[in-house]
Amino acid sequence: MRDFQEKHGEGWYEKWQTEMRLIESYAFNNTEWACGLWARMAECEGDAFGFVETPGVERDVLMADICRVFERKKVVNIGPSADFSPEFITLFVDNAADEFVEFLKELI
């Protein structure tokens, strides 16, 4: 992030946010697993996804948000990023997913 900030200077954060949206869109539309993951989350009912009661977060609101975001992701394909190559994005999201799986295994 620091390199990005130095490269873009004034207004870097807005550019960063734009690039993050491009990366997210690219990853959703170009990985083998992202769309399927969102589909499975949107199809969950009841306690299927292990919802934990949290002050200020209602299950129905959360599920509505997941479904709304999933529907939006299916129609929005705004990539690619000018600053992050498709190869970098794919490597990053695949590694992040693998690392998260390992993190979850350690919790269980």
Angle at which helices 86-107 and 12-30 cross, to 10°: 80
Tell me the per-residue pLDDT of 28-65, one tens digit each, with 9 for 90 and over. 898 888 899 899 888 887 666 667 777 888 888 888 99
Token pair recorded at residue 16: 């960063």
Mean pLDDT, the chain, rounded, equals 86
Domain boundaries, the chain: 2-107
Angstrom distance (rounded) from CA 11 to CA 5: 9
Using CA atoms in the order 102, 100, 45, 108, what is the torsion angle rounded to 10 degrees? 30
